[in-house]
Chains A and B, each alone.
Chain A
Amino acid sequence: MAFRWSRMSPQLALTPAVAITVVAFIGSILWTIYVSFTSSKAFATYGIDFTDWARQYERLFKDKGWTIALKNMLVLGIGSFLAIVFGFILAALIDREKRGEGFFRTVFLYPLAVSLIVTGVAWRWMFNPSFGLQGALHSIGLTFISFDWLSKPETAMYGIILASVWQGAGFYMALMLSGLKSINTEIWSAARLDGVSFWRLYAEIIIPMMKFTFLTCAILLSLGVVKAYDIVVAMTNGGPGQATWVPGYFTINAYWVKSNLAYASAAAALMLGITALIFLPLVLLTAWRERARTS
C-alpha cells in the first residue's frame, strides 16, 4: 500500500506517550524488580547471586517493620471501608431528601480538595493530648473519654483511619450519588406506586443495582490504601516507634533512611504485587461491564 503521510501523523503524535510508558513505567518497573534480586546498597549493582536470589524478600519477611506495615495496611483497609459505608449513607440521604443537596455535597466533599498533609496536620492538632479535643472534653468533665490516640501505639492507626474517613467519605459519596442518579427515575415511581418500603427498596433493588459502583469504590479504596503515605507522614511520621508504618512508608524509609536500594526495591515490588491482586478484579470488572453493555 502506498505510503500515506496522514496515516503516520497519529502514530507520530503518540510517540511521546509511548516513550513515557515504555521508559517511565514499563522499563522502570522491570528495573526495580530486577534490582530487588541484587544486593545493591546505596548504588545500583547489577550482579545477581543466583544461589541466594530471594535474599531481600527473605529479609523483608523477617523484618518486624514490614510485618507491622502489612498489618497496618490491612487495618487501614478495613477501617477505611467505613468511608464507603458512610459515603453511601450520605449519598442515599442526600438523594432522597433533595433539600440542601448542593450545600451538603459541598460540605462533605471539601476535605478532598485539600492536601492530605493539611488533613494530617489538622487532625494531629485535634489529637493533641494536652490542648486538643481531649483537653476540651476533660475540661467539661468528660474525663473518661481519651482522645490522644496518636500518642499510643495501640490506637495510633485508628487516628489515621478517622482522618482518612473524614477526607475520603465525600469522594465515595460523590461516586455513589452519581450512581444513584443514573438509576432510572421510573424505578422510584414504580416503587412508590407499589408501596415498597424504604428499607426494602434499598436492600433489594437499589443496592443490587449499584453493584458496579460499589465494586469500583472498593477497588479504588483498596488501591488508595496500598499507596497510603502522606497521611501517615503528616499525622505520626510512622510513630510512635514503628506503630503506624505502612508499606509505602516502609519502602521510602528503606531507600532514603537506610539507603538500601535493593531492599526498597523488593518492598516496592511487593507493593506492586498487592496492587496487581486488587487490580485483577478491576480488569475483570471492566471486561464484565463491557460485555454487559454490548449484550
Chain B
Amino acid sequence: MSTGLLSGDARVEAAPRFPRKRKGISGRSIAILVFLSICAAFFCVPLYVIVTTSFKTMEQIREGAIFSLPSPITFEAWVNAWDHACSGIRCEGLKVGFWNSVAILFPSLMLSLTLSSITGYALALWKVRWAGTFLFILFICAFVPFQIIMIPLIILSSGLKVYGTIWGIAIIHAVLSMPFLTLVFRNYYKGIPQEIMSAAMMDSGSFWRVFGEIIVPMSGNIFIVVLILQVTSIWNDFLLGLTFGGLGTQPMSVVLANVVITTTGEAAYNENMAAALLTAIPPLVIYFILGKFFVQGITAGAIKG
C-alpha cells in the first residue's frame, strides 16, 4: 500500500474532474450482432424443427406446419424410437444400437489412447531410428480414404474371427485413429522441455517409468482433448459401424440410418426425429459441457497435424 506519497492520491476519492460519457454501442456493432444472430438462427432451425417434431403427434405433423409448437405434447415418439422402432426386420428400437455404441466406445477408447499416447511419446521424446520417416508415413495414413483399406480389413478381421463383433469394431476404430492421434500426442509431447526429459533420463532412464510417473501426469489436458475427440468420432461414426457391424452389433448411428431410410409405408417422422435426437444427445451433452476441449481437439489436430 502506498501511503499518500503520490501527490495524486488525495484526488482518488474525489469525483473525477473530467467524467467521460459511457460509450454506447456503435452502429456497426449492432449490424454485426444482428447479422450474427440471423446466422445463429439458421444454425438453430434444424435443431428446433427436430425437437418440436419429435414431440408432435403424426396428426399434427400431417397438417404441414413444420414450425408450429407441438400440441398436444407427446412422448410416444421417443418411447417408440427407443423401444420399438424397426431397423430392417427387427423392431427393437434404438436401445440396441445405444448399448452397442457404449460397448464399442470403452474398449476402443482404452486401446486407442494407450496405443497412440505411447507411440507419440516414443516418437517425441526418445531417440528412435527412422522416427522422421515414420511420422511422415503416419501423417499420410491419417488422411487415407477408408475405402482403399476397407476390403483387406474386412478379410483380415474375418480371418481373426472378430468381424461383426463389438470387439472387431472397437479394434478397427483404434487402428484407424492411431495415425492421427499419434500425431496429436507427438505434437503435445514435443512441447515438454528437453531438460525435464534429460533430468528424467539421469534419474531413471526407464522408458516406462518416465512415461508413467512423469509424462502421463503432465499430459492431463491432452488426454481430455483426445478423449473427447475420440468419444465424439466413435459415437458419430457410421461407415465403420456399417462395414464391420454384424446383425445385432451395429452401433447407434447405423441403427438410426436403418430406421429412417429403410422404412416401408408412411414414415413416422416424429419417431425418426426422436431417434435422431437420441443419437445426438450424448455427443451434444459432451459438447455443451466440455466445449473448450472439443474446440481444442478439432483445431489442434487440424492445424498442427
Residues of A within 8 A of B (CB): 6-7, 9-11, 13-14, 16-18, 20-21, 23-29, 31-32, 35, 44, 90, 93-94, 96-97, 99-100, 103-119, 121-126, 128, 130-133, 135-136, 139, 166, 170-171, 174-175, 178-179, 213, 216, 220, 223, 226-227, 229-230, 233-234, 237, 247-248, 251-252, 255, 261, 264-265, 267-269, 271-272, 275, 279, 282, 286
Contacts and interface: CB of A to CB of B under 8 A. Distances in A.
A152 B206 CA distance: 64
A276 B260 CA distance: 35
Interface string B236-279: 11110001000000000100110011000000010011011101
B119 A17 contact: yes
Nearest to B60: A131
A116 B236 contact: yes
B214 interface: no
Given A117-B279, A118-B256, A13 B145 contact: no
A35 B46 CA distance: 43
A247 B146 CA distance: 12
Contact of A118 (B179, B280, B298): B280
**5 shortest interchain CB distances as A-B pairs:** A9-B207, A115-B236, A113-B287, A135-B64, A28-B149
24 contacts: A10-B207, A21-B178, A28-B153, A31-B151, A32-B149, A103-B40, A107-B44, A108-B43, A109-B287, A110-B288, A114-B284, A115-B237, A115-B279, A118-B256, A123-B46, A124-B260, A130-B64, A131-B64, A175-B299, A252-B150, A275-B145, A279-B143, A282-B143, A286-B139
B50 interface: yes
A49 B210 CA distance: 55
A113 B232 contact: yes
Interface in B118-166: 118-119, 121-123, 126-129, 134, 137-141, 143-153, 155-156
Nearest to B262: A237
Contact of B257 (A90, A223, A234, A265): A234
Interface residues of B, number: 93
A287 B160 CA distance: 40
Contacts, number: 266
Contacts of B138: 17, 21
Contacts of B283: 113-115
Interface stretch (B4-12, B13-21, B27-35, B188-196): B27-35
Output the residue of B45, B143, B273, B287 with the most chain A CB within 10 A: B143
Output the residue of B147, B208, B232 with the most chain A CB within 10 A: B147
B115 interface: yes
A25 B32 CA distance: 47
B179 A25 contact: yes
Given A116-B236, A139-B64, A237 B137 contact: no
A133 to B, nearest CB: 6
Nearest to A119: B46
B175 to A, nearest CB: 5
B234 to A, nearest CB: 11
B303 to A, nearest CB: 6
Nearest to A44: B155
Contacts of A25: 137, 141, 144, 149, 179
B73 interface: no
A131 B269 contact: yes
B131 to A, nearest CB: 9
Output the residue of B29, B62, B122 with the most chain A CB within 10 A: B122
A111 B116 CA distance: 27
B147 A175 contact: no
Contacts of B62: 131
Contacts of A6: 205-207
B67 interface: yes
B61 A131 contact: yes
Given A132-B66, A136-B66, A29 B260 contact: no
Contacts of B287: 109-110, 113
Contacts of A24: 149, 153, 156, 175-176
